Amino acid sequence: MGTQLSIRSVGRPRLSLTTDEYIIRRRTQNKINKRNQRLREKLLNETNTEPMVDFNTKYRNDLIKGLSSMNFNYHLTGTFNLNKKERDYIKELNKDIQGEIQRHEYEFNYQNTHINNLSGLKRYTNNYLNFLNKGKLFKNCIVFFELGENKKYHTHILFQTPVRYQEFKRISKNGWLLGHSTTTSIYNEEEVLEYVTKELEPSSNQRSKLNLVDNWFIWNTMTPTPAPYTCVDRSIRSPWRPPVVSPEWVPTCK
């Protein structure tokens, strides 16, 4: 039919090149593209004279440099792993507290603590520091958190204190009721700071890594008593408000 279009008359006209001519043309264009790429790379190297720096390493080095002048003398490592006896004790303690709440119709500042949760460990660490601060056992401290190979969090606390080692070790060990704690003297402050900050990676895209960066904190003479509890958890998407921390140190967990 006269109204039907011809397929040959539609679209871009074909180049009148033979196969050999097409190969030569593409080869020449590739050479030009490669040459332009080398010129761009050369120009980029000439203009960018600063060496490439790993942001994670720079973050840790700057942090260590800023903290190395605080003269920490004790390092405490606290775990939050409960054995069956401790879990049963906490369970009974929670029942007693709930019974007192129902009996007296009074709302205590009572918080359930999740054992494997970073917010629970940070809440417990704040209560622990409030307990030590009441006895004026330290001047300054800094707290870091770490995710172990067993996928459970534990805490590193560096203390600046005039208290003698044996006395501080005894009180700090007796005060850490849940899990286990180990207190050692610091002989090389820079080496210890490198150890406790090794997991900090602010440029990471993993939530567990970013939570470690968001939640380390410093306690000094400017910190109110009791210390305010705030925990940043990037895995929580719903609106979150920090719970109220009781000034009375009652370690409870759920």
pLDDT tens digits, residue range 105-155?
A: 665 554 444 455 788 888 888 888 888 888 888 888 899 998 887 778 889
Give the residue with greater pLDDT, 111 vs 183.
Answer: 183
| Helical segments of 176-240, H only | 189-196, 207-215
Number of H helices, E strands in the chain: 7, 5
Alpha-carbon distance 113 to 115, whole Å? 6
Residue-wise pLDDT for 201-220, tens only, equals: 888 888 888 888 888 888 87
pTM greater than 0.75 (yes/no): no
Helix axes 55-67, 189-196, angle to 10 degrees: 140
- What structural domains and CATH numbers belong to the chain? 71-219 (3.40.1310)
- Structure token pair of residue 227: 């210390």
DSSP state of 149: T
3-state secondary structure of 165: helix
Are 161 and 138 in contact by the 8 Å Cβ rule? The answer is: yes
Q: Which residue has the tokens 């969090």?
A: 153
